[in-house]
Amino acid sequence: MQIDGSIRNCKEDWLTIFEVAKRSCLNLAVHSQGCLTLNTCIDHMIEDHKRELLDIIKENSVFLAQDPYRNYVVQHVLRIHYPGVNGRICHKLQEFYVRLSMQKSGSHVVETCAISGGIVYVVNDLVQGFISSPLSET
């Protein structure tokens, strides 16, 4: 957590840090400390920078949701309930919920989507997956 403390203590350099976070978002998200740092940046960014970073996360939510560390970023964004973001992420993950629900890290994203307003997407996708499953014909 040393990185998180550094971010909080160097307020005069936040703009630089946030710019780097936006440019390196997908690379930061794959590391245990990187995903925590990215989440801290999201929490402390000014609105314009936050919106830009959340747009990157929204557009890459399928990629991010399937990784042991990257999924923490998606879950964090869903939990802050930023206007217009949750619905878009839940929509982007449509057709991936069955696959995600079978992955350790992905299943947490499915649960967070359901809790944070995406229950319709999750249920529809899981029901469709069940109906089309070869196991449902027996």
The helix/strand/coil state of 132 is: coil
- Taken in order of first residue, the domains within the chain and their CATH numbers are 2-137 (1.25.10.10)
Q: Which pLDDT belongs to residue 48?
A: 83
What is the C-alpha to C-alpha distance for residues 29 and 57, in angstroms, rounded to an integer?
10
Higher pLDDT, 2 or 68: 68
Q: Which pLDDT belongs to residue 72?
A: 95
What is the C-alpha to C-alpha distance for residues 128 and 122, in angstroms, rounded to an integer?
10
* Confidence band of 15 (pLDDT split at 50, 70, 90): confident
Average pLDDT, the chain: 85
Looking at residue 135, the DSSP 8-state letter turns out to be G
Q: Which pLDDT belongs to residue 121?
A: 77
| Prediction pTM value | 0.82
pLDDT per residue as tens digits for the range 90-103: 999 998 988 999 99
- Whether the per-residue pLDDT at 38 is higher than 60: the answer is yes
Q: Which pLDDT belongs to residue 6?
A: 54
Categorise residue 117: left if φ over 0, alpha if ψ from -120 to 50, beta otherwise. left
Q: Which pLDDT belongs to residue 1?
A: 41
Annotate 23-56 with b (16+ C-beta within 10 A) or e (fewer). eebbebbeeeebbbbbbbbbeebeeebbebbbeb
What is the C-alpha to C-alpha distance for residues 58 and 32, in angstroms, rounded to an integer?
20
The token duo for 70 is 């990257």
